[in-house]
A and B are shown apart, each in its own frame.
Chain A
Amino acid sequence: NAGVMQNPRHLVRRRGQEARLRCSPMKGHSHVYWYRQLPEEGLKFMVYLQKENIIDESGMPKERFSAEFPKEGPSILRIQQVVRGDSAAYFCASSPTGGYNNEQFFGPGTRLTVL
Chain B
Amino acid sequence: QQQVKQSPQSLIVQKGGISIINCAYENTAFDYFPWYQQFPGKGPALLIAIRPDVSEKKEGRFTISFNKSAKQFSLHIMDSQPGDSATYFCAASKDDYKLSFGAGTTVTVRA
Contacts and interface: CB of A to CB of B under 8 A. Distances in A.
Interface of A: 4, 31, 33, 35, 40-45, 48, 56, 58-59, 91, 93, 95, 98-109
Contact of B42 (A99, A102, A108): A108
B78 interface: no
Contacts of A95: 97
Q: B-side binding surface: helix, strand, loop or mixed? A: loop
A37 to B, nearest CB: 8
Interface in B34-56: 36, 41-46, 49
A99 B89 CA distance: 22
B101 to A, nearest CB: 3
Contacts of B42: 108-109
A115 B15 CA distance: 41
Interface of B: 2, 4, 6, 36, 41-46, 49, 89, 91, 96-104
Contacts of A101: 96
A45 B99 contact: yes
A91 to B, nearest CB: 5
A43 B99 contact: yes
Given A103-B46, A108-B43, A109-B43, A42 B89 contact: yes
A44 B101 contact: yes
Most chain A Cβ neighbours within 10 Å, of B36, B42, B101: B101
Nearest to A37: B101
A40 B83 CA distance: 22
Given A40-B103, A42-B103, A104 B89 contact: no
A68 B62 CA distance: 37
B45 A106 contact: yes
Contact of A104 (B46, B102, B103): B46
B102 A33 contact: no
